[in-house]
């Protein structure tokens, strides 16, 4: 990276330095205290000796860096990564107060151990200012472990007068493990009447969070990734597992979730074997209290104590709604509580709008889960207001006589809408609870016009989808791409093939264009039921790997970006811009033979977008492109 600084200085921290200027390895500093006693300018780079462990901690404040356009960089030099080892429970491994424009790369942060109760994080970005953004933070190729609080935390002091937060944060290719409170967190002051979000535009990609234990407390402890008080966030290609083992409370914990958040996308992630401890939840994915305009898509949840997908609002939260959950897999979830898909609401809340479609849910009984509502899809009436539930084109396969759905009488007047779903009880008699319990699809239809009717015509199937490897234990896939999963696909002849509906006209939004496995929708002109769109082997042209990623630069961008078309020989090519809600913002054809295509973003609002390029022989998509004007 080229830094636009005329005064950028390189400093070295190494075991063999002579503790003078720090301007070369031989003149380098040997102690972290020598870093903490100095002030660093935007564009400065601090090189730490790779393979060496430095004892102590790092602290920076508003006098350091603090220019988002010219970031200060901390990284390793030589062989391997440098390690910052913090033995005191009273200090963070790294703390930056009221500043940003900081990149941390290729470093390890180790703490005193997660068995030590502590208020200190591995990495903490903290602000107590009344307003404004601290912009441009990058954390890349870091390992954070052994801290008594969180691994990585972005924290606006939790008082009403603090409205400052962090913007344009990217956490990539990191590992957070063996911490006590939570893994990766954003937090700020929040109440039901709040309409703003202190944090903006976070990306967490290619990151693993595991063995976040939690501990006995009145509130839930031990989540993997949990973002809150944030507008615009992307969590992509991440894994969370074995969290929450020492939790004793409810209301969490979980693998990957958000609350008090707007415009969040969670995609291509795997969340598994998360524990409730002796409490409850231990969920896979969750759009929780006060989440709006957000999406979970192309994710894989399995073997969690609680719901694979939890969707709901708690008492006193902001309004919840206009959320989408599509093309996900949940397998073997709800080991101890709730159901694989669990919706909930509470008194003193608003809950309005969920589009839940083309997901595949496979669930078996668990001796530890004695909830009377245990089913594949559950609505929970802690409160009595839950409107706008649409449930289309899903596969619900149960074993051991578990019901397909549980909708208490509290919500039947709200008419949650089930249509074009496939139900299979694996040889048992299938049952539905929709205000009352009935057996069989025909009886379910008799309960109302929103019980498996589409355009006034009976819909849905009771049939074996013949999912591949459905009786085997759910495999763990990460870090391999999720489309390499061979289980839970539709074989030729499955009743789910071509049996789904095109939900886009009803929903007034795009379905995203792809299934869980990366296949283009629809194949052969008709939609399938479930997370897999069957296509003839060999015709699954779109695969998520290095060769299928559309090359876009710059990213983030302001007025335009460029696409590299150097290895595209065919024309015409169809180019689309898609927003976080799956809506097509631009759709045009590329006819010229040039090896580069400039994308004008004139008239398009700042935000995060997906770029999709389609030819006759292949289709590619970009990673998420941030437009920041």
- Domains of the chain from N-terminus onward: 549-627 (2.60.40.3080)
Answer yes or no: are the C-beta atoms of 108 and 149 closer than 8 Å.
Answer: no
Per-residue pLDDT of 264-311, as tens digits, reads 999 999 999 999 999 999 999 999 999 999 999 999 999 999 999 999
Distance between CA atoms of residues 15 and 7, nearest Å: 26
pLDDT for 544 equals 37
Confidence of residue 548 (pLDDT cuts 50, 70, 90): low
Distance between CA atoms of residues 355 and 318, nearest Å: 19
Over the Cα atoms of the chain, what is R_g? 25
pLDDT for 439 equals 98
Per-residue pLDDT of 363-382, as tens digits, reads 999 999 999 999 999 999 99
Confidence of residue 576 (pLDDT cuts 50, 70, 90): confident
Distance between CA atoms of residues 605 and 627, nearest Å: 8
How remote is the C-alpha of 115 from its chain's centroid? 28
Strands (DSSP E) found in 496-606: 552-553, 560-564, 573-579, 584-590, 596-600
Query: Peptide bond preceding 526: is omega within 30 degrees of 0, i.e. cis?
Result: no
Answer yes or no: are the C-beta atoms of 277 and 246 closer than 8 Å.
Answer: yes
Task: Provide mean pLDDT across the span 164-192.
Answer: 97
Tell me the average pLDDT of the chain: 93
Alpha helices in 18-100 (DSSP H): 33-36
The larger pLDDT score, comparing residue 3 to residue 452, is at 452
If residue 441 lies in a helix (H) or strand (E), which one and from where to where?
Answer: helix 441-445
Task: Provide mean pLDDT across the span 581-609.
Answer: 79
The larger pLDDT score, comparing residue 580 to residue 202, is at 202
Confidence of residue 583 (pLDDT cuts 50, 70, 90): low
Task: Provide mean pLDDT across the span 350-362.
Answer: 98
Distance between CA atoms of residues 183 and 151, nearest Å: 5
Task: Provide mean pLDDT across the span 586-610.
Answer: 81
pLDDT exceeds 80 at position 482: yes
The larger pLDDT score, comparing residue 506 to residue 560, is at 506
pLDDT exceeds 70 at position 546: no
Task: Provide mean pLDDT across the span 311-331.
Answer: 97
Percent of the chain with pLDDT over 70: 95
pLDDT exceeds 80 at position 440: yes
Q: What is the DSSP letter of 429?
A: P
Confidence of residue 555 (pLDDT cuts 50, 70, 90): confident
pLDDT exceeds 60 at position 458: yes
Residue 262: strand pairing partners: 231, 292
pLDDT for 566 equals 78
pLDDT for 536 equals 64
Confidence of residue 580 (pLDDT cuts 50, 70, 90): low
Confidence of residue 617 (pLDDT cuts 50, 70, 90): low
Percent of the chain with pLDDT over 90: 81
Alpha-carbon distance values, 128 to 9, 90, 198 (Å) = 29, 19, 11
Task: Provide mean pLDDT across the span 386-401.
Answer: 98
Per-residue pLDDT of 499-534, as tens digits, reads 999 999 999 999 999 999 999 899 888 999 999 999
Confidence of residue 556 (pLDDT cuts 50, 70, 90): confident
Task: Provide mean pLDDT across the span 133-140.
Answer: 98
Confidence of residue 537 (pLDDT cuts 50, 70, 90): low
pLDDT exceeds 60 at position 1: no
pLDDT for 615 equals 73
Strands (DSSP E) found in 78-115: 82-85, 94-97, 102-110
Distance between CA atoms of residues 333 and 340, nearest Å: 5
pLDDT exceeds 50 at position 547: no
Residue 144: strand pairing partners: 109, 176
pLDDT exceeds 80 at position 622: no
Distance between CA atoms of residues 86 and 122, nearest Å: 9
Distance between CA atoms of residues 539 and 526, nearest Å: 16
Distance between CA atoms of residues 74 and 10, nearest Å: 10
Query: Peptide bond preceding 481: is omega within 30 degrees of 0, i.e. cis?
Result: no
The larger pLDDT score, comparing residue 172 to residue 626, is at 172
């Amino acid at each position: 990276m080229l830094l636009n600084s005329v005064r950028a200085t390189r400093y070295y921290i190494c075991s063999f330095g002579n503790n003078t200027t720090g301007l070369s390895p031989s003149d380098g500093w040997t102690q972290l205290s020598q870093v903490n006693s100095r002030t660093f300018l935007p564009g400065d780079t601090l090189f730490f000796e790779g393979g060496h462990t430095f004892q102590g901690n790092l602290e920076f404040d508003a006098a350091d860096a603090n220019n988002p356009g010219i970031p200060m960089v901390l990284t390793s030099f030589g062989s391997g990564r440098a390690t910052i080892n913090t033995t005191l429970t009273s200090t963070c491994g790294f703390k930056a107060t009221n500043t940003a424009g900081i990149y941390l790369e290729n470093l390890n942060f180790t703490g005193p151990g997660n068995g030590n109760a502590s208020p200190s994080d591995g990495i903490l970005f903290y602000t107590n200012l009344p307003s404004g953004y601290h912009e441009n933070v990058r954390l890349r190729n870091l390992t954070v472990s052994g801290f008594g609080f969180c691994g990585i935390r972005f924290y606006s002091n939790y008082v009403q007068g603090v409205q400052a937060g962090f913007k344009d944060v990217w956490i990539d290719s990191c590992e957070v493990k063996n911490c006590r409170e939570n893994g990766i967190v954003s937090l700020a002051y929040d109440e039901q009447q709040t309409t703003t979000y202190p944090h903006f535009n976070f990306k967490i990609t290619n990151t693993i969070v595991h063995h976040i234990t939690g501990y006995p407390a009145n509130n839930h402890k031990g989540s993997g990734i949990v973002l809150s008080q944030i507008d615009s966030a992307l969590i992509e290609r991440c894994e969370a597992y074995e969290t929450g083992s020492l939790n004793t409370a409810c209301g969490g914990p979980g693998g990957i979730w958000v609350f008090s958040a707007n415009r969040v996308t969670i995609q291509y992630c795997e969340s598994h074997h998360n524990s409730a401890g002796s409490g409850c939840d231990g969920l896979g994915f969750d759009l929780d209290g006060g989440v709006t305009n957000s999406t979970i898509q192309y994710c894989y949840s399995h073997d969690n104590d609680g719901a694979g997908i939890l969707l709901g609002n708690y008492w006193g939260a902001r309004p919840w709604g206009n959320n989408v959950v599509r093309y996900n897999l949940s397998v073997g979830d709800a080991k101890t509580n709730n159901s694989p898909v669990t919706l909930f609401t509470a008194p003193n809340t608003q809950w309005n709008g969920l589009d839940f479609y083309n997901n595949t849910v496979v669930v078996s009984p668990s001796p530890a889960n004695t909830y009377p509502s245990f089913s594949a899809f559950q609505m929970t009436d802690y409160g009595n207001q839950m409107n706008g539930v649409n449930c289309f084109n899903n596969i619900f396969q149960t074993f051991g006589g578990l019901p397909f759905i549980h909708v208490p009488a509290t919500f039947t007047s709200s008419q949650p809408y089930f249509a074009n779903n496939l139900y299979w009880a694996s040889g048992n008699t299938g049952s539905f609870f929709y205000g009352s319990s009935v057996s069989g699809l025909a009886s379910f239809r008799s309960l109302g016009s929103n019980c498996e009717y589409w355009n006034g015509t009976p819909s849905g199937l009771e049939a074996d989808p013949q999912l591949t490897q459905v009786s085997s234990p759910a495999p763990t896939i990460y870090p391999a791409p999720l489309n390499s999963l061979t289980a839970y696909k539709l074989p030729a002849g499955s009743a789910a093939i071509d049996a789904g509906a095109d939900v886009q006209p009803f929903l007034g939004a795009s379905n995203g264009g792809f299934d869980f496995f990366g296949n283009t929708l629809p194949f052969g002109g008709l939609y399938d039921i479930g997370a897999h769109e069957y296509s003839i082997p060999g015709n699954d042209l779109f695969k998520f790997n290095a060769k299928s990623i559309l090359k876009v630069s710059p990213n983030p961008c302001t007025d335009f970006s460029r696409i590299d078309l150097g290895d595209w020989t065919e024309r015409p090519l169809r180019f689309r811009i898609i927003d976080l809600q799956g809506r097509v913002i631009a759709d045009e054809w590329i006819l010229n033979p040039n090896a580069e295509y400039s994308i004008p973003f004139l008239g398009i609002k700042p935000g995060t977008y997906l770029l999709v390029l389609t030819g006759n022989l292949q289709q590619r998509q970009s990673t998420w492109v941030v437009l920041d004007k």
